[in-house]
Structure 1
Amino acid sequence: MRTYAIGDIHGQLEKLRRAHALIEADKATVGDPGATVVHLGDLPDRGPDTKGVIDHLIQCRDTGAPHVVLLGNHDRMMRRFLHPEKLKDNLRHDLDWLWEPLGGRATLASYGVDVSAGRDDLDIHADALDAVPASHLAFLDDLTTPYAEGACLFVHAGIRPGVPLERQTLDDLVWIREPFLSDTRDHGPLIVHGHTPVDEVMHCGNRLNLDTGAGYGEALSTVVIEGREVWLLSEDGRQPVLPCGV
């Protein structure tokens, strides 16, 4: 079983295009055009072109590309902002998506919304409803998590250790950090996740973190997984990603 996976995208269209190109090159080398490509979520926020990212993924879907796109916490915040009366979502109501560090303003700017300082949030919201295409909102609404394939469970943030997979909550799947990150037990499948930025792809034996900070201008990492073996894709080909301590 061969599966490709891409970390948190955060509005980085050109980096996403590069990731897809690396995957196509590897597929051509191994002769496996139908292998699944899993995107670990967080399509919007912080980067310059969320609109372009979602356009691109919709086009890929419409051409029949074997893609899976998972729900992340930033996707969830974006869709909650766009139709809070329709989507009952209790995730972190203490967070305001328009708060600069979260990146919602950068997302709306990619759709041509005026998000300049001093504008009333209600005016920004009204403009956003006009600017974001219905097809983009429908795409966000259709995102789910997790996704299982081969020896792996792909999820945006992680799982709550010790809780059976069928009893995991959506809040944890898209938001958890601790106690997941420090837990060393075998979770059964290899948990492939993003959400928590690291300097480079991190293989901990029981989990694999692919968020290498694209939302902060760093790399968007792309891997291929065969069984539980992992390789980072680059222009120079495959680079093995070994579990910590190996």
Structure 2
Amino acid sequence: MFYAIGDIHGQKAQLERAFALIDADGGADAPLYFVGDLVDRGWDSAWVIQTIMDGQAAGKPWHCILGNHDLMLHQFVTAGNVVHPEILSRKSWLHHRLGGCRTLASYMGGIDIDHPEWISWDHANEHGLDPASPELIAAFSDAAKMAVPADHLNWIANLPLYLDAPDGHRFVHAGIRPNVAMADQTRSDLIWIRDGWLDYTADLDAMYVHGHTALDFPQHHGNRINLDGGAGYGRPLVPAVYDGTGWFTLDEAGRAPLRP
């Protein structure tokens, strides 16, 4: 038996609720898999990362893979990178829709997220600013380097791109390029893919459990399971359990089957 949690996106209260549901189901000491995207959009990204790190350090059988938002945090702090070719809208990581500002605020205790400079960054077009301005990026990047702990950055840098789990399950953040060997998958596909993956209905070499594409509720698609229930957009974070016979979601009423 093992448990899994979809994209958390800095939602402290929702993660605490998910832990409580898992504990109530008898899974306090069971393996737990996180599908990535721990940060952005919510207000408590630093707390989420620290909590998972602390759990692992305490010997809990917790496993986590890299999400694209986790990578964006790492790349901004280490290299000042805010623009990613996979984002077709060309919005920067610090745009309010992607949520990087809230992640930085979670590390910079006491910062006023409603300060005009932050509003200008969040809504650059309305305020006539260039979200890719080198001066603006440098100012935020310098502040981030001072605020984000090195152990958080090292932990993110060492997160795997996928993990195998019992009974033919494989965890990956976004998905895979179908009919391509795992050794030949690119990082970009594994943490960003949608086209060619979400519409793929044929059998795969494993049951892929992923997140990345927000739904209203986790869904079993037959050849894959998407656990991103939209916590980054204010919907509940729904933990799930595989008990050896099938998949179930958890809420205060107990287990509910998660079937194709």
Q: What TM-score results when the alignment is normalised by the length of structure 2?
A: 0.84
d(CA) in 1 for partners of 2:156, 2:172: 16
Q: Confirm whether residue 73 of structure 1 aligns to residue 68 of structure 2.
A: yes
d(CA) in 1 for partners of 2:99, 2:84: 20
User: Could you tell me how far 1:117 is from its partner in structure 2?
Assistant: 3.3
**Identity of matched residues, %:** 43
Change (3 A) 1:91 1:58: farther
Q: Confirm whether residue 111 of structure 1 aligns to residue 114 of structure 2.
A: no
Q: Confirm whether residue 242 of structure 1 aligns to residue 259 of structure 2.
A: yes
Q: Is the 8 A contact 1:73 1:175 kept in 2?
A: yes
Change (3 A) 1:143 1:3: same
Change (3 A) 1:20 1:91: farther
Which string of whole-angstrom CA distances, capped at 9 and with x for unpartnered residues, describes residues 113-167 of structure 1?
5662347332111111111111211221121120011221111001111112232
Partner of 2:157: 141
| 2:193 paired residue among 158, 167, 176 | 176
- Within-5 A mapping of 1:2-41: 2-27=1-26, 34-41=29-36
Q: Is the 8 A contact 1:159 1:172 kept in 2?
A: yes
| Coordinate RMSD, CA, aligned | 2.1
d(CA) in 2 for partners of 1:50, 1:154: 21
Which string of whole-angstrom CA distances, capped at 9 and with x for unpartnered residues, describes residues 8-31 of structure 1?
000001111111221122225xxx
Change (3 A) 1:190 1:19: same
- Within-5 A mapping of 1:27-66: 27=26, 34-66=29-61
Change (3 A) 1:177 1:117: same
d(CA) in 2 for partners of 1:186, 1:37: 25
Q: Is the 8 A contact 2:10 2:43 kept in 1?
A: yes
- Give the total of aligned pairs: 236
Partner of 2:206: 189
Unaligned runs of 5+ in 1: none
Q: Is the 8 A contact 1:9 1:43 kept in 2?
A: yes
Unaligned runs of 5+ in 2: 122-135
d(CA) in 1 for partners of 2:85, 2:151: 23
Q: What TM-score results when the alignment is normalised by the length of structure 1?
A: 0.89
User: Could you tell me how far 1:95 is from its partner in structure 2?
Assistant: 5.1
SS of the residue 1:233 aligns to? strand
User: Could you tell me how far 1:96 is from its partner in structure 2?
Assistant: 2.2
d(CA) in 2 for partners of 1:206, 1:227: 17
Partner of 2:128: none
Partner of 1:124: 140
Partner of 2:174: 157
Is 118-127 or 48-57 further displaced after alignment?
Answer: 118-127
